[in-house]
Amino acid sequence: MMNRGNDRTETLNGIMDREIEKNPHSRGLIDAFRPVIIERNRLLDEIAPVKIDFSTFDKIRFQGGVPLIRQQNLFPPDDPLKEMADRMVPAMKEGFPGLRDDLDRLQEAWKKGRLVLDDYFRAFPDHGDAVIDRWAADLHAKPQGFALMMHQLSRIVLEKRAQDAADRIKGIDWTKGFCPICGSFPSIALIEEKIPRRWLHCSRCGYDWLFSRVICPYCENEAQQGMDFFYVENRAQEAAFSCEKCKRYLITLNRVSDLHAHDLDVSAISLAHLDVIMQGKGFTPMTVCEWNSF
């Protein structure tokens, strides 16, 4: 009998293959991220970070727009960071062979105690990138590989935290366009087919939340003038929401059926051509990801 991990891997591979079939130009990006996404999801199933005590969670502050990460530490020091990092390195080398040397330097540094992975999480979310830049300078390496590694580790831990916190925040109103768990802005939105509600997806922690279809998630602009959807001809299901007020855009899957399984991170990667178009028009993504930075 197929176990849950193998079943999820098979499902993810099927999703990625379908996205490549729909958007052949995305093959290079999807195949690069394929081993990274597969290993990350294996770790989500197999690694058990320590449980967080949510007893200090303040419902009133949350309703006022203070996400979970601003209320308590979501990165306790006992998380198995080195184990997760050691597992991620081969997958990242497979997908991004150009980063091999830098990843080797990073792995050797944490194994020999020249850097402490937890330093990044203590500085997260405000100053995590500064830690990465310091590591890269100290090790005479480019920061891109370090950033990709730490973003994957933080995704695993934060997704676990989001799963643990789901019951705590269930039914509590959240009206912001940034993530109620980690405070990041969405990387992609999905508008359902049967009930046209808009779900926002966070690539930083994998959480999905409902948000108004008539408000810009980034600047909360409610004036319909200046907000629009761009799409490639005959591909209206794959669009980019844009707001002239803040000059931000959000990749959006419009009226998607539930006939096939989907993964919003994979969908966002497969639609990177829309990122190119929107950035060419002078718009900026609501959140910067590895696949939409040009």
Whether residues 100 and 214 fall in one domain: no
* Band of residue 261 on the pLDDT scale cut at 50, 70, 90: confident
Whether residues 92 and 153 fall in one domain: yes
5-14, 37-46, 131-140: least confidently modelled range: 5-14
Mean pLDDT (whole number) for 190-210: 91
Position 67 in a domain: yes
Whether residues 245 and 272 fall in one domain: yes
Position 2 in a domain: no
- The total of structural domains in the chain comes to 2
Mean pLDDT (whole number) for 30-45: 96
pLDDT 10s digits, 234-245: 787 899 999 999
Position 7 in a domain: no
* Band of residue 231 on the pLDDT scale cut at 50, 70, 90: confident
Position 206 in a domain: yes
Last residue of a domain, one of 115, 139, 169: 169
Position 24 in a domain: no
Last residue of a domain, one of 169, 198, 219: 169
Position 1 in a domain: no
Whether residues 158 and 194 fall in one domain: no
Position 208 in a domain: yes
Mean pLDDT (whole number) for 53-59: 89
Whether residues 158 and 200 fall in one domain: no
- Residue with token string 């379908």: 18
Mean pLDDT (whole number) for 49-57: 84
- The boundaries of the domain holding residue 248 are 188-285
Does the pLDDT at position 2 exceed 70? no
Position 25 in a domain: no
Whether residues 59 and 159 fall in one domain: yes
Q: Give the percent of the chain with pLDDT over 70.
A: 96
Mean pLDDT (whole number) for 206-229: 93
Mean pLDDT (whole number) for 14-29: 95
Whether residues 88 and 133 fall in one domain: yes
Whether residues 71 and 100 fall in one domain: yes
Whether residues 125 and 95 fall in one domain: yes
What does the pLDDT read at residue 1?
37
pLDDT 10s digits, 100-114: 999 999 999 999 999
Whether residues 163 and 64 fall in one domain: yes
Question: What rounded mean pLDDT belongs to the chain?
Answer: 92
Last residue of a domain, one of 169, 204, 238: 169
Whether residues 132 and 192 fall in one domain: no
